[in-house]
Structure 1
Amino acid sequence: MIFEKIAALLAEQFSVDADSITMETTFEDLGADSLDIVELTMAVEEEFGLEDMDEDDLSGIATVADLVRYLKGKLDD
């Protein structure tokens, strides 16, 4: 469920097919720059009802799998 929502957000933001996004996809693969990451963070916060995505936490997120793990941890709190 989390992966599907993330894939949809990434597909929309980066104009790629959601089916092309895997857990191993990196944000670098998608051509993300720092502005893209900020926009993605805001979209993720809105989608998942989060208000406290910490910049330090996000610095270790490089792949879709990293983001899914991060969100599972936040949502289980």
Structure 2
Amino acid sequence: MATVFERVREVVVKQLKVGAEEVTPEANLVDDLRADSLDIVDLTIAIEEAFSEDAEFEIRDEDAENIHTVQDILDFLAGQGLS
């Protein structure tokens, strides 16, 4: 079974159309992965869908505002009991 990071990386690669090697925990979604505000919205929805079978959660707007890096996504998921 894939790790949470591997699953997040897969979603980020698909949503942002970047290479897997670019998706590191410290990668900034806007600066490094060239995401715009619409990309971030689509990414949060894709993360919710990708992990919907593991836990019931919603990435609220307040939470999304604090997500700037891949590590922020991982930290959010860990806070939902996914690690």
- TM-score, normalising length from structure 2? 0.82
What corresponds to 1:60 in structure 2? 66
What corresponds to 1:7 in structure 2? 9
- The one-letter code matched in structure 1 to 2:17 is S
What corresponds to 1:16 in structure 2? 18
Q: Is the 8 A contact 2:57 2:80 kept in 1?
A: no
Runs of 4+ displaced beyond 6 Å: none
Give 5+ residue unaligned stretches, structure 1: none
Aligned residues: 76
1:70 maps to which of 64, 73, 76: 76
1:26 maps to which of 9, 25, 28: 28
1:34 and 1:16 map into 2 onto residues whose CA distance is: 16
Q: Does 2:47 match 1:44?
A: yes
Higher helix share: 1
The percent identity for this pair of structures is 38
- Report the secondary structure of 1:75's partner residue: coil
- TM-score, normalising length from structure 1? 0.87
RMSD across aligned positions (CA): 1.4
Q: CA offset at residue 25 of structure 1? A: 0.4
1:51 and 1:13 map into 2 onto residues whose CA distance is: 20
- The one-letter code matched in structure 2 to 1:75 is G
